[in-house]
């Protein structure tokens, strides 16, 4: 019988490894990764096509195009699609990434063959109906009108502008009025330019049978139309501002948002993984240094986080929080103080073991289900992750020493290089 007065022993995780699934190909040459696993007869199909944020001529163009593709096509009008999905207990979704769009279908296996043609028709012959576009425009315009009233959003947008430079596609801010004037012709142009089998990738995850794979090849394997457009390399180039501190005025705001960014290294750099450990210790989990100091000890904020963002061509360390406007500059000062501590003193082994356990447990989530593993597979082309990244990360987490992490902190966490944006009531901020 379990003794409820005795807590279970804490043991070190080990022998964690990911075996990256092999790539197959459909008849038309589209690569497909099949992740077979789980006990339930369910599956998710993720289709990735070129045409993401980096390709847009106006904000949210790629997102709206992908969403409208699923709202009507040559053989399935919007109501028919809704009825089919509802009857089968399935659902669809669309989202955009930096360089690609993602169209997804989740269903029980017995309906996969019935529903897959809907996805194929959405890719190859969408009607992009005007009525659905109007609904989408108004919904997004209302969403972004609300977001523009929040200091956290204003700080994040301005920080992207300061970090990437004016004109960079990742900087574009969606204007509610402009969204209402996005035309169907804009979406047709975007679809024609990017929705082609060249550059398309497919991930099928769940309890996948040979019959399901055969159906996938039969339905999608005949897509051979056109060639995808290449994205100019110079769109990735950044032109950071020389301004290191920016205040965005939000009159009457009782809270201030603080957003900070520090240029780091891309994922393939050998220092990226140990730097990720350092940033996790700084502010990557609830018991991190920033949370312990600024939330629990000082009471300046309800929550604060630090993260390492790795894209295909760059990476940066970020810090984000909201606080009472009276404590804004104290928060910035405490962040820099914690950076100095990481630079000046090696992380104690007790703290490092906590960070290790947390990061290892987070890594286990990738192996938890075939669907989480499918997301990891997609990250190899979405975010510059490579097949051995997972296993190298496990090795780094388990074997990095306090001295090595201190050296990485000294190399990259330089308080003089932070770009800092504060959004709030400028009058109140200047009176502090």
User: How confident is the model over 79-106, as pLDDT tens digits?
Assistant: 999 999 999 999 999 999 999 999 999 9
Distance CA 57, CA 185 (A): 13
Identify which of 310, 277, 308, 276 has the alpha carbon closest to the alpha carbon of residue 380.
Answer: 310
Q: Return the pLDDT at 225.
A: 74
430 pLDDT above the threshold of 80: no
Same domain, 271 and 168: no
Q: How confident is the model at residue 238 (pLDDT cuts 50, 70, 90)?
A: confident
326 pLDDT above the threshold of 70: yes
Cα–Cα separations (whole angstroms), residue 365 to 71, 209, 376: 33, 24, 10
Decide: helix, strand or coil at residue 42: strand
Of the three residues 204, 228, 252, the one that is the final residue of a domain is 228
Q: Return the pLDDT at 258.
A: 98
Both tokens of residue 292?
């312990």
423 pLDDT above the threshold of 80: yes
The answer for residues whose C-beta is within 8 angstroms of residue 45's C-beta and 6 or more apart is 104, 105, 106, 112, 116, 119, 202, 203, 204, 216
Same domain, 75 and 218: yes
Cβ atoms of residues 391 and 17 within 8 Å = yes
Distance CA 281, CA 292 (A): 11
Between the CA atoms of 64, 65, 67 and 68, what dihedral angle is there, to the nearest 10 degrees?
Answer: 110
Find the helix or strand (DSSP H, E) in which 75 lies: none
Higher pLDDT, 431 or 295: 295
User: Across all residues in the chain, what is the average pLDDT?
Assistant: 92
Same domain, 217 and 262: no
Same domain, 196 and 223: yes
Higher pLDDT, 419 or 432: 419
Q: Return the pLDDT at 4.
A: 85
Tens digits of residue pLDDT in 218-229: 999 999 875 555
Distance CA 124, CA 358 (A): 44
CA 33 remoteness from chain centre: 20
Is residue 15 in a domain? no
Q: Return the pLDDT at 230.
A: 58
Q: Return the pLDDT at 184.
A: 96
Same domain, 103 and 172: yes
Same domain, 305 and 214: no
Cβ atoms of residues 209 and 109 within 8 Å = yes
Is residue 99 in a domain? yes
Q: Return the pLDDT at 181.
A: 94
Is residue 320 in a domain? yes
Decide: helix, strand or coil at residue 261: strand
Of the three residues 172, 204, 228, the one that is the final residue of a domain is 228
Same domain, 326 and 411: yes
Of the three residues 197, 228, 259, the one that is the final residue of a domain is 228
User: Pairing mode, if any, of strands 91-96 and 245-249?
Assistant: unpaired
Both tokens of residue 318?
């970020």
Identify which of 113, 68, 74, 126 has the alpha carbon closest to the alpha carbon of residue 92.
Answer: 68
232 pLDDT above the threshold of 60: no
pTM, to two decimals? 0.91
Tens digits of residue pLDDT in 175-200: 999 999 999 999 999 999 999 998 89
Same domain, 212 and 139: yes
Is residue 425 in a domain? yes
**Which CATH number is 138's domain given?**
3.30.830.10
Residue 339 per-residue DSSP state? H
Beta-carbon neighbour count of residue 273 at 10 Å? 20
Domain of 367, in residue numbers: 243-430
Total tally of structural domains belonging to the chain: 2
Find the helix or strand (DSSP H, E) in which 305 lies: strand 304-310
Find the helix or strand (DSSP H, E) in which 151 lies: helix 151-164
Range 326-344 average pLDDT:
97
Is residue 408 in a domain? yes
Cβ atoms of residues 314 and 238 within 8 Å = yes
Distance CA 102, CA 47 (A): 6
Cβ atoms of residues 402 and 341 within 8 Å = no
Is residue 10 in a domain? no
Quickly tell me which residue has 């997301």 as its tokens.
375
Beta-carbon neighbour count of residue 24 at 10 Å? 15
Same domain, 211 and 288: no
Q: Return the pLDDT at 385.
A: 84
Distance CA 61, CA 46 (A): 20
Q: How confident is the model at residue 305 (pLDDT cuts 50, 70, 90)?
A: very high
Tell me the residue length of the chain: 432
Is residue 235 in a domain? no
Cβ atoms of residues 234 and 198 within 8 Å = no
Q: How confident is the model at residue 432 (pLDDT cuts 50, 70, 90)?
A: low
Q: Return the pLDDT at 229.
A: 56
Is residue 237 in a domain? no
Tens digits of residue pLDDT in 96-151: 999 999 999 999 999 999 999 999 999 999 999 999 999 999 999 999 999 999 99
Distance CA 361, CA 46 (A): 26
Q: Return the pLDDT at 386.
A: 84
Helices in 165-300 by DSSP H: which ranges? 176-180, 184-194, 210-220, 272-283, 289-290
Same domain, 118 and 256: no
Same domain, 224 and 254: no
Question: Mutual orientation of helices 112-124 and 78-88 as an angle, nearest 10°?
Answer: 150
Sign of CA dihedral 47, 53, 55, 61: positive
CA 102 remoteness from chain centre: 12
Same domain, 180 and 298: no
């Amino acid at each position: 019988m379990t003794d409820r007065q005795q807590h279970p022993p804490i043991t070190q995780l080990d022998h964690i490894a990911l075996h990256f699934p092999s790539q197959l190909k459909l008849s038309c040459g589209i690569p497909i990764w099949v992740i077979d696993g789980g006990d339930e007869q369910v599956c998710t199909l993720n289709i990735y096509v070129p045409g993401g944020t980096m390709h847009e001529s106006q904000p949210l163009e790629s997102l709206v195009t992908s969403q409208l593709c699923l709202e009507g096509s040559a053989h399935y009008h919007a109501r028919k699609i809704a009825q089919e999905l509802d009857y089968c207990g399935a659902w669809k979704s669309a989202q955009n990434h930096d360089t690609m769009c993602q169209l997804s279908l989740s269903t029980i296996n017995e309906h996969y063959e019935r529903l897959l043609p809907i996805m194929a028709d959405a890719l190859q012959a969408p009607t992009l109906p005007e009525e659905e576009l109007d609904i989408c425009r108004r919904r997004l315009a209302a969403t972004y009108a609300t977001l523009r009233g929040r200091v956290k959003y204003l700080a994040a947008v301005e920080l992207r502008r300061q970090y990437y430079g004016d004109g960079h596609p990742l900087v574009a801010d969606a204007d509610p009025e402009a969204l209402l004037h996005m035309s169907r012709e804009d979406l047709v142009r975007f679809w024609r330019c990017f929705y082609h089998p060249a550059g398309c990738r497919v991930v099928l995850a769940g309890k996948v049978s040979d019959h399901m794979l055969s159906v996938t090849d039969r339905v999608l394997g005949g897509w051979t139309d056109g060639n995808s457009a290449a994205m100019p390399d110079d769109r990735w180039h950044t032109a950071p501002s020389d301004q290191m501190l920016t205040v965005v005025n939000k009159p009457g705001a009782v809270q201030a948002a603080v957003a900070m960014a520090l240029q780091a290294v891309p994922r393939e750099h050998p220092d990226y993984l140990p730097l990720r450990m350092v940033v996790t210790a700084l502010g990557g989990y609830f018991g991190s240094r920033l949370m312990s100091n600024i939330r629990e000890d000082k009471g300046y904020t309800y929550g604060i986080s630090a993260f390492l963002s790795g894209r295909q061509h760059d990476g940066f360390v970020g810090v984000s929080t909201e606080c009472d406007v009276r404590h804004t500059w104290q928060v910035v000062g405490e962040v820099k103080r914690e950076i100095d501590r990481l630079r000046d003193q090696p992380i104690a082994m007790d703290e490092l073991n906590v960070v290790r356990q947390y990061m290892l447990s987070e890594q286990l989530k990738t192996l938890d289900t075939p669907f989480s593993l499918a997301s990891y597979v997609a990250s190899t082309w979405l975010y510059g992750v490579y097949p051995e990244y997972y296993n190298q990360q496990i090795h780094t987490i388990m074997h990095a020493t306090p001295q090595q992490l201190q050296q990485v902190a000294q190399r990259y966490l330089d308080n003089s290089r932070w770009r800092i944006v504060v959004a709030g009531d400028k009058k109140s901020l200047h009176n502090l």
